[in-house]
Structure 1
């Protein structure tokens, strides 16, 4: 019996070297198998692309088949990953944090060394100045409807990007954000952010079973959303959602489904 490798249809991947931190990134791209709208396809940028790009792509393809009925529009999906066959790479510690300080170690010491952090601004600059221009050149895109999704440290990056560069995207999805990692930086950036009038939508999510994490991940995420709710306006909105029965890993699949609704501006209550 002859066998051959399986690849996702209408996807491709290529590598790009960051000019800022000399990191080599593997870029995964899924393009809808349909004509582009007049204003181009909306975009979703997915952090930790090695681990969840394929799941996002399969879900998007399945759920947008009858978009004229469901209101779910096909998006170009851009997964940002690393040159590895593993789901995650330690370079994410540097890329997804905006401060080299690890705040939680002051109250929850861990007997291990962590990779260096604090490269978030360089990583955001890479996305803005290198990756986005290449995506715009290669594909028909709508730069006025862009989403970024990150989980855990990636969720921290999404919040930090929103607070420091709110015009970079229109939809921000922070899944189980590791607020405890760079909490001081995030609080300072949040205060400056709340003095502005941003035009963006934010979704913060977590799994119910993450309530027991030492970091108080869910509590801090909900508290952050409550604070941001005081800043809700016609241009900015935030939402917090806790998925019943899900933990830090299993939360990713319901997150994908909710994200597709969120970036299509479809309101749906999860009970």
Structure 2
């Protein structure tokens, strides 16, 4: 596809090299080299590429994490699309990228899913808020997702969309836009610490979402947040309004975490993995 380049990066290469060096040192001392030592196993693979959007003209760096079993498996896997994959947050111990934080959680849990990180944090005030959110959504659903599903064993019926703060707002906005247009493109919408977007206040945001009342929504919306964060002012009123609506097929869930606004991101993601991708 024009504008797309690829590089493949094996996981834990440094770990493997360190292990090999340690084994060599033991052998030199006469205490190593035992065939009983288990080999260092890979934990997956990351494929790096870029994709220029026809919808908004921006070129996004794309990272795709494939679990270890992908290379020898035959099953189509669910795909989790992560906005702000390049954002330097998502860990309580270091400012590492959101994609890498989520990848580590999936590796630790052995989650059998594909993770797609979308760069573009610098574009968040354009891509996540209306009217730019419409073009960004078109990029993900009409350009990126079809590309991923052509290249990988990806299950088009099991797609998830994840976002934090303005990104969390975008996830809700995506559901509203798609619900009004016809049918959701994702099986799971994962919104963490949603902002009010560009609506000015909570009432404006709720009025925007209220357009969905009565619309069939065969999908799952998981609203998550920090106990002392946006949950109280935004998440709870949004959940209450949607719970009172008629949306046939919608599974509406919420969860709160004892964390900061940004600190809720990883716990919410791990919670979503446990609920939906075990």
Cα displacement (A) at 1:231 = 3.6
Confirm whether residue 227 of structure 1 aligns to residue 241 of structure 2.
Answer: yes
Describe the SS at the equivalent of 2:141: helix
Aligned length: 222
Confirm whether residue 240 of structure 1 aligns to residue 254 of structure 2.
Answer: yes
Give me the TM-score of the superposition, normalised by structure 2. 0.73
State the Cα deviation string for residues 108-151 of structure 1 (Å, max 9, x = none).
xxxxxxxxxx3100000011111011101110011111111100
Which residue matches 2:186? 169
Cα displacement (A) at 1:77 = 0.4
Describe the SS at the equivalent of 1:44: strand
* Shift in CA distance, 42/36, structure 1 to aligned 2, threshold 3 Å: farther
Cα displacement (A) at 1:241 = 1.5
Give me the TM-score of the superposition, normalised by structure 1. 0.75
Cα displacement (A) at 1:41 = 0.4
Say if 1:153 and 1:177, in contact at 8 Å, map to a contact too.
Answer: yes
Equivalent in 18, 23, 28 of residue 58 of structure 2: 23
**Runs of at least 5 residues in structure 2 that lack an aligned partner in the other structure:** 1-11, 16-42, 87-96
State the Cα deviation string for residues 10-52 of structure 1 (Å, max 9, x = none).
01111111112111101110012114454x1011001110131
Matches within 5 A, 1:83-162: 89-98=121-130, 118-162=131-175
Whose radius of gyration is greater, 1 or 2? 2
* Shift in CA distance, 181/241, structure 1 to aligned 2, threshold 3 Å: farther
Describe the SS at the equivalent of 2:119: strand
* Shift in CA distance, 14/229, structure 1 to aligned 2, threshold 3 Å: same
Confirm whether residue 55 of structure 1 aligns to residue 101 of structure 2.
Answer: yes
